[in-house]
Structure 1
């Protein structure tokens, strides 16, 4: 059983890396679509002398709000799974396997809270500069 759990652990790491790459592509595509939808407004802002940061800031704030909502949803879903699925579910049936604790949950939430905004800010800044050129 422990060998099977190790296989699942490696598989989950691979899935996590693929999902992070998918999230980066999703953020990039969203920024591109938002910039293309607002290209007329961006052109007018450029003509009246708006700075690059002034044009970039709405895209950045939109990405950060989306990241905050996503972090809250992911943390809540993970908390529900840990509480109902592990502590009050499978952990009571299989007591010989070391299961995650609330400390592990807190570490995962802290990791997501640090990585989430980073994965939205970097593509937003890079792609906004690319697509806001007039």
Structure 2
């Protein structure tokens, strides 16, 4: 019985080769988008975990060029800087502050030159134009508003900034890209499901005489439907395996091979476990959707 079912399946695949190839290609493209979107979500979560824990609160002091209303007195004095440090060490803030360090204008200038050493505008910047600052590491980054509210407005303080607000914009863009990938994948998956259903109906129509004979001899519906369902599952499996290979290959060659050396400070997704999980999900979705579409299509055809 198993041999007969497999033989019928291969016969159907041969008769509808062009349609089967179309199903495989559409499934491959759509599931590649699904895999990319899943990987992007893994990347977003990885970056959030890595960078949010390292995000600092920057307490920038007034310079001669500061335009803040709190800087009308000019450059921050040492007494004003000491007052901020006392506040950071006080009973109100110390439970929330893990550690902090002071960055002088010379230190800020050295860091600026290191970061933008290839930019010709570096030569027009002087240490006096840069802010002295306290860089504060929080015990829990979610408590950064407590430090901001306590220190904002103190004499000599130009601004108090939570670095996470800059990360939020980056994550918003990445989330937008992920949603776009999912939307494209959804449209393509609908096309793949419709194509699978059409392929199965054409396959059944081309073998309508055989199906009639099988019904007359008392073959069960499950026995009649099995070859057609396996045709759809086979096409979905091949397409999803191609998509899984694309996800794994893209992660290995592009993310790890190309991006990682050029972005050493970035926590990028890896082959294991992120890409492997994404590939597994892609294969499961491909097989499940193809099987459901095939089953529904052949059942509707047999009821007609």
Task: State the TM bucket, normalised to the shorter chain.
Answer: 0.7 to 0.9
Q: Which has the higher helix share?
A: 1
Q: Does the alignment pair 1:63 with 2:232?
A: yes
State the match for 2:191 in structure 1.
22
CA contact (8 A) 2:196 2:294 kept: yes
Q: Does 1:132 align with 2:295?
A: no
Cα-Cα RMSD? 1.9
CA contact (8 A) 2:245 2:279 kept: no
Q: 1:79 to 1:106 in 2, by over 3 A?
A: same
- Give, in whole Å, the separation in 2 of the partners of 1:120 and 1:13: 18
Shift of 1:72: 2.1
The separation in 2 between residues aligned to 1:5 and 1:70, in whole angstroms, is 27
Q: Secondary structure at the match of 2:232?
A: helix
Partner of 1:123: 293
Q: How does 1:1-134 map to 2 (within 5 A)?
A: 2=170, 3-102=172-271, 103-133=273-303
More off after superposition, 90-99 vs 52-61: 90-99
Matched residue SS, 1:68: helix
Q: What is the deviation of 1:111?
A: 0.9
Bigger Cα Rg: 2
CA displacement at 1:97 relative to structure 2: 4.2
Q: Distance in 2 between matches of 1:30 and 1:124?
A: 9
1:96: how far off?
A: 4.5
Q: TM-score, normalised by structure 2?
A: 0.41
Cα distance in 1 for residues equivalent to 2:269 and 2:193: 28
Unpaired segments ≥5 residues, structure 2: 1-168
Q: Partners of 2:200 and 2:289 in 1: how far apart?
A: 13
Aligned length: 134
8 Å Cα contact 2:248/2:276 also seen in 1: no
8 A Cα contact 1:60 1:121, kept in partner: yes
Q: Which has the higher contact order (CA 8 A, sep 6+)?
A: 1
TM-score (norm 1): 0.86
Instruction: Between 64-73 and 52-61, report the one with greater CA deviation.
Output: 64-73
Gapped runs of 5+ residues in structure 1? Answer: none
Distance in 2 of aligned mates of 1:40 and 1:71: 32
When you count strand as a share of all residues, which structure comes out higher?
A: 2
1:39/1:132 contact within 8 Å kept: no
